[in-house]
Amino acid sequence: MKNIFENSGITHQINADNPIYKINEKEFNQSLISFGVIVSILKNKRINQTMLLTIILEHENFRNCFKYISEINDDYTLISNLVIRFPILCKSKIVKNKIQELLHDNKRKTVL
């Protein structure tokens, strides 16, 4: 499982020179843009970063679709990648609450 703080400090400097890391970053960015376009078309309105993250966190169908597009297997990795990409979103109360709810629900499902 990836570390949330993977893009900070020394790890970021090491990964910045790694061609596989660069390709993965570009692929994730492309999948994020593609998914944003899909959601924008389905909702018939403009989508910003906060709204996109909120939609991904609220709706399991959208979350599963994005996980499929970006080839990510679990919710934790998906959230950590999005939080790394948009750290300012962590200050939003809505996003904080949705992340806590999602992680709490996933912990409960794994225990059951």
Domain ranges of the chain: 9-111
Instruction: Give residue 48's identity as a one-letter amino acid code.
Output: N
**What is the rounded CA–CA span in Å between residue 54 and residue 49?**
8
**pLDDT for 3:** 46
Q: Where are any strands of DSSP class E within 1-112?
A: none
Q: What is the pLDDT of residues 78-111, one digit of tens each?
A: 888 888 888 877 777 877 787 777 777 766 555 4
* Residues 6 or more apart in contact with residue 37 via CB below 8 angstroms: none
Across the range 56-67, mean pLDDT stands at 89
